[in-house]
Structure 1
Amino acid sequence: MAQKDTTPPPGAALRPPRVFKLVLLGSGSVGKSSLALRYVKNDFKSILPTVGCAFFTKVVHMEAASLKFEIWDTAGQEKYHSVCHLYLRGANAALLVYDITSKEGKEFAESKKLLFMETSAKLNHQVTEAFSAVARELLQREETVGPTQKENARVALNEGPPRQVRCCAH
């Protein structure tokens, strides 16, 4: 499936794009980097494991507005778990990337009222659609939240009582 060419809507150049931080979470070797590379550069390569974190940006032009994704691709290896939480701070959204043969992700997403979409970076299946769905959700949330509440609209990744957190693992 080919990616759609996004051209700015008329008048979009007058306003700078809205910036949203998006983090990719998941175990090692599940395709987080491949997903980001496919989305940002429409490319697919066998990639070596991410060291710490990789960073990508992409400006997306939607019907209503333009936005800039700052995509933080976190390492899934155990040795990076202690620093993983640093990349999560201030995130507007998180994509949980996993091997679909490992878990029942759709049931988890439905139980938490989360967006769910199966993608394939290798086959370029629903990659753009997944990021576009996140973009639409973020823009919709921004419109419904007042300017003083925008900080509270960020993803609450640590709701509930304090607990030991193991980032990016099974």
Structure 2
Amino acid sequence: MSPYEYLFKYIIIGDTGVGKSCLLLQFTDKRFRADHDLTIGVEFGARLINLDNKQIKLQIWDTAGQESFRSITRSYYRGAAGALLVYDITRRETFNHLNRWLDEVRQNSNPHMAIILVGNKCDLERREVSAEEGAQFARQNGLIFLETSAKTAKNVEEAFIYTARKIYDNIQEDVYDLSNESYGIKYGPTSQYSRVKLGKLFPTGCVFLLLCMSSSPA
């Protein structure tokens, strides 16, 4: 297991076909698949990033956009620290549905969830939603905003890292009660909290004794 200071749980939400799975694949594997199958229920990915010389693990849940899976995906809102709310800049209807998605995630998540609005497929020319419209919606709703391309990787890294930065800054400002799992943040094995907890469970002499016992021949 790679060492990390914190684990942040993310969700990716939005209509079917906006490129949620492609964004996840580009971020975790740095590759693009044009023929990606529709997500059934939820898909999962993870990656380590570095913030202020600290390793942060992002645990990302990609949710299905179909109405038939909404009751399943809604349960993943609980216990998430961050969310990518994605629409397709070439399909006006996906932008028109943003209020419904935003209302749903805010009703079912913690009040301090960091949410970024992502206008995906900005590499395509047949635009139906302007960047100004996306930015205005984000301002009106207190969201971070970026346009991305899962195909070219433009701003994909930034979409996840900007959100992680917001969560990390909130941790430094004691916004979250990290003992409460509903905030979607866990201490990692290299965190100071974990080291203190381990020290309480196993005082230095006990740890030394355990190490000696484990290294002695059978």
TM-score range, shorter chain: 0.7 to 0.9
Structure 2: runs of 5+ lacking an equivalent: 96-132, 185-218
Assess if the C-alpha contact under 8 Å between 2:78 and 2:182 holds in 1.
no
Alignment partners' CA distance in 2, 1:145 and 1:18: 14
Larger RCO: 1 or 2 (CA < 8 Å, sep 6+)? 1
* Between structures 1 and 2, the one with greater strand share: 2
Q: Which amino acid aligns with 1:18?
A: Y
Match of 1:105 among 103, 115, 134: 134
Partner of 1:45: 33
State the partner residue of 1:24.
Answer: 12
Work out the CA distance in 2 between the residues paired with 1:77 and 1:146: 33
User: For residue 130 of structure 1, what is the aligned residue in structure 2?
Assistant: 159
The answer to whether structure 1 residue 90 and structure 2 residue 119 are counterparts is no
Contact between 2:12 and 2:20, CA under 8 Å: does it hold in 1? yes
Query: How many percent of aligned residue pairs carry the same amino acid?
Result: 37
Contact 1:17 1:59 (C-alpha < 8 Å) held by counterparts:
no
Maintained 8 Å contact 2:82/2:164:
no
Give the partner amino acid of 2:52.
E
Structure (1/2) with the larger helix percentage: 2
State the shift of 1:62 in Å: 2.0
Deviation of residue 16 (structure 1)?
3.0
Kindly tell me the number of residue pairs found equivalent between the two proteins.
142
What's the offset of the Cα at 1:143? 0.6
Match of 1:68 among 41, 52, 57: 57
Unaligned 5+ runs, structure 1: 1-12, 156-170
Residue 205 of structure 2 corresponds to: none
One-letter code aligned to 2:31: D
* Partners of 1:141 and 1:153 within 8 A in 2: no
Cα distance change on mapping 1:50 and 1:64 into 2, 3 Å? same
- 14, 17, 33: which one aligns with 2:21: 33
TM-score, normalised to structure 1's length?
0.76
Structure with max Cα Rg? 2
Structure 2 Cα separation of the partners of residues 87 and 30 of structure 1: 19
| Inter-partner Cα distance in structure 1 for 2:81 and 2:70 | 20
Q: Secondary structure at the match of 1:142?
A: helix
Shift in Å at residue 129 of structure 1?
1.4
Task: Tell me by how many angstroms 1:89 deviates.
Answer: 1.1
